Structure 1
């Protein structure tokens, strides 16, 4: 027999950002709980709104699965004494399994005889186990918890009601002095308290009380309302999926409406208008159907039906008008001041207590920008453009607009820079230097923007790590992981010929000559390099590179990141290539023997055999060619592959570990030097070569 069960946690409104993860936890933890209890079921469905989390278990077995289990005990020689009687070990084993020594039988396992018992575990009635769902409720984690009243329990928001239902019977349990029942609540203003007598009625009963319990259906209702407004007003409403996702978790019964604002506000940069609508009011901007120009309208999502909708629209318009009026005022006031005013104010803005002010940070970024630009041998005009962008990179932080709308940092820097007559590429670089804003976010397009972005991020990473602000767990207040990934992605995108280690060296070099003095720079350099190495491994993994290949390529440093990734991708192919087998075997053998070398200097006069001299001559040619390498990973590997036959001939015709010390050391030195060529490409001994198995 099967039945259905329903559990619901009723709460005060949860933050939208908590809901999706909490619903996923509810689904996963419930499935794991039922599995651990050996209770079969047909289907799990979860629900969420700002005021509830719920799970419907369909086709739930009314009885735990009864199992028969064979349990192995100690070896027979331990279970019996010399007289053949059962020892305390055997008696204790059977007692622990709820059996007696009469239930013991023996059988061999890998040549040793052990004692066994058959354990029969009778399935319990499911209903008796369901009150344990309380533990699922208590185990759900949220981004931030709170206490309420006299409660010691911490949760996202206060629990107001609990539903526990199996068939038509209430499952009894209690959390935070709230007892379970079959009563739930509809929409806060439009609904009432209702009884659920059958778990499958849950979704329908709530819909009658103006609650769409399924988050995906609620999202579909939001989209339907938006598309209806598009058709009615012949406009285009771009769907920001991040905003859509948030809005669906802010309401229980969505109602889309179209509001408007004064056309004069369109003179403000549209980014300001969109941020005001999206980030502060959760509105969708409206554009024309043809050219995509921004229109003086917005779409909001109300939590309710269309009752008194005109009043709601007017209220929202009033709120937006006040915010846009502030933005217009800030915009006008900012443009009355000069760039030098904003730059001077940076001297009073602290970046980090031990790392100085933003003004001091900008000074370091300017120098580092010039050093990186010069390394790439850019034209002087490009260097000057990048340096100017670095000089102006943070000026907008002291503007009234960015002080009020922090999301506009960089954006307003570009707008104001153009207003003050700066070069268009310089202005663009000011905005771009904040990119990427997320680990996989959009990268800068301009060279100046990319270099300033790298310099700014390197300065932050090196400085914060040097003053012991290394991220721990999920705690990364300065976004150092994201910024390091950003630096590596920019190197990859531009295929720039510079090592990560060189960039770190230049950054610490700038700190050494700045007003901020970092202690133990050598130790800091090691930690920073290791930090970037972990981020590089992450990017390799995201690119589908296997862990052993990652370790082989990044075994000593990152180097030129683009080059390193190309080597990893090539070796991932070669590991399964049968034609590479001889090369792989030769390289691995060389590296293993090279570890025994005591001398690293080859004496050509001690090369006695033809195969020795052939290998040495081939090594010299490849070593010289490697010094002028183009940086092409495939070309480098093909060059190394030329050593394959000479290596095999060498091993076939010579004994490396001969008794004669001079000859032995010289042969090991030859292998060591060849090994260094291979090792600098990758430590192939770390690779699990598939064709070897």
Structure 2
């Protein structure tokens, strides 16, 4: 009779970010190990809080499934001698497998018959197997920063304090980390005292809830969000969805109770970011917004406990926030005593990266690089001056008191201080936007100055790091170069900018020429960064729904112009559903198979002999004149259609003309003509990489 299996690993409070991945791993490991051990079961679920990881497997069979194995032995003809007696080969096989001659069966492989031993292994009790594999489920979990404790060699998220393992009402016995599995667990750290007994897996969920532990993260999250919304509505406001903060709070508490506190409304005179950042980043509070979208002097926190004495807890949270906001107000006032421009000098004392100068040096490079980039975007004189002023001030807020205390406010405070100092609003906005995007899904800069500075800042960092041998490896990317490269791609694509990646790399590299000793030459840096961006573009195109072969075909034709890559990809993806696509593929593949042998693409019209090749030449000449302007205007779908239209003329050529003739000049001429056709296609996509179904 099937029974449920329950595993609870009790630990010291683990960081919030560890919980979700750990539960996912635990579920995968359990499913894999149970399958490998031939133990049939029902649904597998994992639950957890900062103090426990829980595995619940329903309907676990009482025994393993029996195992029947066939082991290949010698060929039948080698098993007996001429007198029909077993040979040494078959006797050795029987002995090694522990079977009798009558246990063997014959299985043909091709034209030869072989003898196989049939071995049956009876399934063991599930409880015995669970006792063996459960420790491996636990030790198989990986954490970003595991720790050791006591004299143990074992590493885990945090020290393990108790183990519950039940198969039905039976304890599954094993030892781990100097602990023996049992049926005793512990409830909420502050709302209960001592441990209590669990009779069976079903009993666990009832008893743990009664001990003030909501073990299901999804349930905790739903309750927290509902309480937050109700409290905000009672204050005449609302709370903006904040999935990251909600997830973090869900994973640091076991019994949630939301509370609403307030602060002096005089603080509302401060910039909103100055209030929200201490609330969210430091105190994990949800700011409350009014119906008009403006911040109210209210906040919502979530307590790990009941509503008992909630007014004392609320007062304590208000006191802590009051101190935070007082500091923020002081920093803000102090920062405003000197204009942002006067703080630029302080950037000389901040190292950007060892070997790449100071932040002040970076500011100079950003200004020069942004000037080049903005010129390609058509900046006029006024805009160029705005960009240079913004570049000068872009990093100045790094030496302010506010950003020193709250690094999350870089850019935001720069914009605020610039406006308060009377700087041009365009300049102030560019100071903020040059940090964008700060994370996946973040907003992108949408002004010419913002885009220019953001691209310059990110490319300066990428080129500088690659030039001194700092590159992302595996999961290691300490300077967030992948994120910055994705930011560059998305800014270019979003702004529909047609700018040379190669050229930006060269400009950025040249910016390091004075006072910095780079370890790698420009060509090597350029090649490495191009490959780096190629990987990012693969992801971007795939995320846009393009198939793998479409992506490879587009990238093979070049990715110098990132916006153009996306436009070509979308055009090819759309054209693949058109009837003419098959004609294009036929034309390209037939021409390309021979064009690979061409050494040159120049041809001599006078060497054309057969009417079919004369006609193909005439059609190809017209096609090139028609398609090249379409490519320049990026009307790729029409260009694909035009190339597909040459199919019949190409077929006529192949049916009537031999390309690989003995006359080397005639052969070279015909190959050159085919190469011209394939080169025309390859300027948009390498169709040889397209997988044609059927």
What is the TM-score of this pair, normalised by structure 1? 0.95
Residue matched to 2:241: 239
| Aligned 1:208-607 pairs, distance under 5 A | 208-288=210-290, 290-512=291-513, 515=516, 517=518, 519-555=520-556, 557-575=558-576, 577-607=578-608
Partner-residue secondary structure (3-state), 2:114: strand
Partner-residue secondary structure (3-state), 1:65: coil
Partner-residue secondary structure (3-state), 1:598: coil
Q: CA deviation at 1:66?
A: 1.7
Residue matched to 2:688: 685
Aligned CA distance change for structure 1 residues 232 and 377 (closer, same or farther; 3 Å): closer
* Aligned mates of 2:551, 2:7 — CA distance in 1: 46
Q: CA deviation at 1:494?
A: 1.5
Q: CA deviation at 1:317?
A: 1.2
* Aligned mates of 2:73, 2:329 — CA distance in 1: 80
| Aligned 1:57-206 pairs, distance under 5 A | 57-73=57-73, 75-76=75-76, 90=90, 97-131=97-131, 132-192=133-193, 193-206=195-208
Residues 554-613 of structure 1, C-alpha deviations (whole Å, 9 max, x = no match): 125313223222322333344455542232111012112111113432111111122222
Residue matched to 1:2: 2
User: Is this contact kept in 2: 1:259–1:316, CA < 8 A?
Assistant: yes
Q: CA deviation at 1:85?
A: 6.1
Q: CA deviation at 1:80?
A: 6.3
Partner-residue secondary structure (3-state), 2:6: strand
Partner-residue secondary structure (3-state), 2:149: coil
Aligned CA distance change for structure 1 residues 646 and 197 (closer, same or farther; 3 Å): same
Q: CA deviation at 1:234?
A: 2.9
User: Is this contact kept in 2: 1:511–1:518, CA < 8 A?
Assistant: no
Partner-residue secondary structure (3-state), 2:476: coil
Number of aligned residue pairs: give it: 690
Aligned CA distance change for structure 1 residues 133 and 403 (closer, same or farther; 3 Å): same
Aligned CA distance change for structure 1 residues 136 and 579 (closer, same or farther; 3 Å): same
**Greater alpha carbon shift after TM alignment, 523-532 vs 507-516:** 507-516
1:659 alignment partner, one of 654, 662, 666: 662
Residue matched to 1:673: 676
**Greater alpha carbon shift after TM alignment, 549-558 vs 413-422:** 549-558
User: Is this contact kept in 1: 2:469–2:520, CA < 8 A?
Assistant: no
Partner-residue secondary structure (3-state), 1:350: coil
User: Is this contact kept in 1: 2:580–2:641, CA < 8 A?
Assistant: no
Aligned CA distance change for structure 1 residues 665 and 31 (closer, same or farther; 3 Å): same
Aligned CA distance change for structure 1 residues 369 and 281 (closer, same or farther; 3 Å): same
* Aligned mates of 2:459, 2:360 — CA distance in 1: 16
Aligned CA distance change for structure 1 residues 46 and 608 (closer, same or farther; 3 Å): same
Residues 184-211 of structure 1, C-alpha deviations (whole Å, 9 max, x = no match): 0001111131110111111210111111
User: Is this contact kept in 2: 1:363–1:391, CA < 8 A?
Assistant: yes
Residue matched to 1:635: 638
Residue matched to 1:56: 56
User: Is this contact kept in 2: 1:153–1:176, CA < 8 A?
Assistant: yes
User: Is this contact kept in 2: 1:107–1:113, CA < 8 A?
Assistant: yes
Aligned CA distance change for structure 1 residues 77 and 618 (closer, same or farther; 3 Å): farther
Give yes or no for the alignment of 1:12 onto 2:15: no
Aligned CA distance change for structure 1 residues 250 and 668 (closer, same or farther; 3 Å): same
* Aligned mates of 1:436, 1:95 — CA distance in 2: 70
Give RMSD over aligned pairs: 2.1
* Aligned mates of 2:680, 2:234 — CA distance in 1: 70
Aligned CA distance change for structure 1 residues 2 and 546 (closer, same or farther; 3 Å): same
* Aligned mates of 1:388, 1:530 — CA distance in 2: 34
User: Is this contact kept in 2: 1:67–1:122, CA < 8 A?
Assistant: yes
Partner-residue secondary structure (3-state), 1:437: coil
Partner-residue secondary structure (3-state), 1:216: helix
**Greater alpha carbon shift after TM alignment, 235-244 vs 298-307:** 235-244
* Aligned mates of 2:187, 2:408 — CA distance in 1: 36
Residues 429-455 of structure 1, C-alpha deviations (whole Å, 9 max, x = no match): 211111111233221122211121111
Residues 484-541 of structure 1, C-alpha deviations (whole Å, 9 max, x = no match): 1111111111211223333323322333467564531111111011100111111112
User: Is this contact kept in 1: 2:279–2:286, CA < 8 A?
Assistant: yes
- Give 5+ residue unaligned stretches, structure 2: none
User: Is this contact kept in 2: 1:439–1:483, CA < 8 A?
Assistant: no
User: Is this contact kept in 1: 2:257–2:306, CA < 8 A?
Assistant: yes
**Greater alpha carbon shift after TM alignment, 94-103 vs 171-180:** 94-103
* Aligned mates of 2:451, 2:369 — CA distance in 1: 13
Q: CA deviation at 1:636?
A: 2.5
Q: CA deviation at 1:676?
A: 1.4
* Aligned mates of 1:3, 1:510 — CA distance in 2: 69
* Aligned mates of 1:284, 1:83 — CA distance in 2: 90
* Aligned mates of 1:554, 1:222 — CA distance in 2: 47
User: Is this contact kept in 2: 1:236–1:286, CA < 8 A?
Assistant: yes
Residue matched to 1:45: 45
User: Is this contact kept in 1: 2:39–2:64, CA < 8 A?
Assistant: yes
Aligned CA distance change for structure 1 residues 227 and 572 (closer, same or farther; 3 Å): closer
What is the TM-score of this pair, normalised by structure 2? 0.95
Aligned CA distance change for structure 1 residues 657 and 149 (closer, same or farther; 3 Å): same
Aligned CA distance change for structure 1 residues 179 and 482 (closer, same or farther; 3 Å): same
Q: CA deviation at 1:324?
A: 0.8
- Give 5+ residue unaligned stretches, structure 1: none
* Aligned mates of 1:461, 1:312 — CA distance in 2: 47
User: Is this contact kept in 1: 2:583–2:644, CA < 8 A?
Assistant: no
* Aligned mates of 2:574, 2:80 — CA distance in 1: 58
User: Is this contact kept in 2: 1:501–1:558, CA < 8 A?
Assistant: no
Partner-residue secondary structure (3-state), 1:144: coil
User: Is this contact kept in 2: 1:390–1:452, CA < 8 A?
Assistant: yes
Aligned CA distance change for structure 1 residues 391 and 97 (closer, same or farther; 3 Å): farther
Partner-residue secondary structure (3-state), 2:3: strand
Partner-residue secondary structure (3-state), 2:280: helix
Aligned CA distance change for structure 1 residues 577 and 293 (closer, same or farther; 3 Å): closer
Partner-residue secondary structure (3-state), 1:352: coil
* Aligned mates of 1:489, 1:120 — CA distance in 2: 60
User: Is this contact kept in 2: 1:257–1:301, CA < 8 A?
Assistant: yes
Partner-residue secondary structure (3-state), 2:315: helix
